[in-house]
Structure 1
């Protein structure tokens, strides 16, 4: 069991001790993960397109790390590469303290991500990752930096809505594990193991605290289109809370319903990627100047 716990610390996310292939709706499996290119403590590149036309930058959910995206691929015709954010306190950064407030994460990410803004890019975030991606969009806008061509959010209520479930970060261990088990829901690949979760609990609790202490500040809606992914059986986020994202964009909002609980993304990665690819139409992107180095 000790070996399992160590693999979980290094592995793709909080609920999985080892890396697995994910079968899509058609039964096909995604390709094996490619070599990870480490460009900074915060960023990992999971494919090696030499001159991409587009970058998709992905933000993990609470307790997750960059490797949860290690099998993600977009169609070749998009000429895209996948990047993933690696927060502190997990995987290769497991020796660092996880962050408990959102603002320091956004400030650090805005600095680290700057070299990637020389061509069109999009943000995708699931759960906690959706909140990080949204606030990073607004931070980039305030600082005059290039903005994404699209923001794709999954399994997180619209940021201006108050939570309707009680905070989880300070629950006693037994109740905390029960909440995580409920979040995993019917997922075929999110195998909940009490001992593994106990080892990872400090990081998960810190991520929950980051979300629970977030205070929304009203600003003008984003001028980029939004895509929302919502599970109709998610015990944490209602569908109406996902549709409320519409008011945070002046450029339109597409909503895709799924089933599979809060972690539906684990079982339905292929279907999610198909919809991401469909919405990332570079022909609709304005002329792109990129960041000035």
Structure 2
């Protein structure tokens, strides 16, 4: 392991006590960072540690260069997360973070690593129906900002500050380029249960597209629809807490 792949650099952890029984590896959406998951912490059951991925070029890694391709990201991310796999874990991603989360599990499977206990994805089309018809990372600045604002992903503090907007634009382009260049690893369906959360008022991903994740698993598939829009995962902390409790207790029942 090198300084570039130290877990403390790549992961923000909610607790490091000895009573952890389940870890949640959380992958943020384009433009976001580890703090996107902070609101979940009070809702998690005892014995669960939230481990949010910290990508370079933002938050406490602001001074580091952005990574703008899967080939640049995963060779650093994979070993950084490896030391967290000594305990049972689940993987969670929202929107474009679902793309990273699913591909991470695929890569882990291919490398012979341990499977997660559960995968939770949100507001993202299933791997079988995902299409990149209009790469956002190539759009002119005004069009890119307009699209992100349309999604509801433009922080108010950023939109009112020209310097922050310039910095945020660079982050968006790098993150979108990673997602849009990524081709899912092929193989048999994962032998891991998948739960998908979606908003009934999501204007960007249809229920049918979210239901297509059922093809990615040979185990149980569940689709939960909530009264929310596209950013359902970050506004459903209590729902996440209940789901994580079920995942944790299901694992306890197996032993």
**TM-score bracket for this pair, using the shorter chain length:** 0.7 to 0.9
1:254 deviates by 1.0
Q: Aligned match of 1:59 in 8, 17, 27? A: 27
If the length of structure 1 is used for normalisation, what is the TM-score?
Answer: 0.76
Query: Larger % of helix: which?
Result: 2
Q: Aligned match of 1:69 in 26, 37, 40? A: 37
Corresponding residue for residue 128 of structure 2:
160
Most deviating of 156-165 and 64-73 = 156-165
1:151 deviates by 0.8
Aligned length: 247
Alignment of 1:273 onto 2:216 = no
Q: Aligned match of 2:61 in 90, 93, 97? A: 93
If the length of structure 2 is used for normalisation, what is the TM-score?
Answer: 0.86
Work out the CA distance in 2 between the residues paired with 1:98 and 1:160. Answer: 29
1:270 deviates by 2.6
1:86 deviates by 0.4
Q: Is the 8 A contact 2:44 2:245 kept in 1?
A: no
Query: What is the CA RMSD across the aligned residues, in angstroms?
Result: 2.4
Work out the CA distance in 2 between the residues paired with 1:168 and 1:77. Answer: 38
Deviations 1:218-267 (A, max 9, x none): 21110010011112322332211110000111011111112433223333
Cα–Cα, structure 1 residues 84 and 155, in superposed 2: closer, same or farther, change >3 Å? same
Work out the CA distance in 2 between the residues paired with 1:52 and 1:43. Answer: 16
Alignment of 1:111 onto 2:100 = no
Corresponding residue for residue 238 of structure 1:
206
Work out the CA distance in 2 between the residues paired with 1:265 and 1:190. Answer: 17
Deviations 1:39-96 (A, max 9, x none): 4221111234332111111111111111212232276755111111101111111122
Alignment of 1:44 onto 2:12 = yes
Corresponding residue for residue 222 of structure 1:
190
Stretches of structure 2 that go unaligned for 5 or more consecutive residues are: 1-5
Work out the CA distance in 1 between the residues paired with 2:252 and 2:211. Answer: 23
1:172 deviates by 1.7
Work out the CA distance in 1 between the residues paired with 2:132 and 2:227. Answer: 21
Stretches of structure 1 that go unaligned for 5 or more consecutive residues are: 1-37, 288-293
Work out the CA distance in 2 between the residues paired with 1:42 and 1:223. Answer: 27
Work out the CA distance in 2 between the residues paired with 1:43 and 1:248. Answer: 26
Q: Is the 8 A contact 1:182 1:235 kept in 2?
A: no
Q: Aligned match of 2:106 in 125, 132, 138? A: 138
Q: Aligned match of 1:184 in 147, 152, 157? A: 152
3-state secondary structure, aligned to 1:277 = helix
